[in-house]
Structure 1
Amino acid sequence: MEAGGVPAPAVAAAAKNSWPEVVGLSSEEAKKKIVEDKPEANVQVVPADSFVTMDYNTDRVRVFVDSTDKVTKAPRIG
């Protein structure tokens, strides 16, 4: 709450960390949605069976796609 009992903006509480709604979309459609929600995101499209580093990066969102360029699992920050 802010001073005077007025609720603080809900922006921080509503910050997204995953995008399950893009599963099944093309990589370009998924990237567009993710950037709408998190403009500073470094969106990386990766084949679903690829090895990736396990380091955590708050600006990175990996989008795993199949051979038809469809998102296979919910992208998330990391």
Structure 2
Amino acid sequence: MSGDNGKSSWPEVVGLPAEAAKQKILADRPDVQVVMLPVGSFVTTEFNPKRVRVFVNPAGDVAEVPKIG
């Protein structure tokens, strides 16, 4: 893969408000679905190359590096 389609993680959005992070991820990869989840949520283990999970703390900020999967 090359260009923006190769981006698979977003360490630069950790600490940002969830909505700002979502917009950055979608700007880089408009082909993915961004899923917001509270930190500690149980998730399925299957890999989905078109999904980015964003774990958000109680303050509404990104708590972990979002990545494809």
TM over 0.5: yes
Deviation of the 1:49 alpha carbon: 1.2
Q: Indicate the SS of the match to 1:28.
A: helix
Q: Indicate the SS of the match to 1:46.
A: strand
Q: Does 1:51 align with 2:51?
A: no
Quote the residue 2:17 is aligned against. Answer: 26
Among 50, 57, 61, the alignment partner of 1:66 is 57
In structure 1, list runs of 5 or more residues that go unmatched.
Answer: 1-10
Larger Rg: 1
What's the % identity of the aligned pairs? 49
Q: TM-score, normalised by structure 1?
A: 0.82
Q: TM-score, normalised by structure 2?
A: 0.93
Instruction: Identify the structure with the greater helix proportion.
Output: 2
Deviation of the 1:13 alpha carbon: 5.5
Quote the residue 1:16 is aligned against. Answer: 7
Deviation of the 1:44 alpha carbon: 0.2
Larger RCO of the pair (alpha carbons < 8 Å, separation 6+): 2
Quote the residue 1:8 is aligned against. Answer: none
C-alpha RMSD over aligned residues: 1.3
Runs of 4+ in 1 over 6 A off after TM superposition: none
In structure 2, list runs of 5 or more residues that go unmatched.
Answer: none
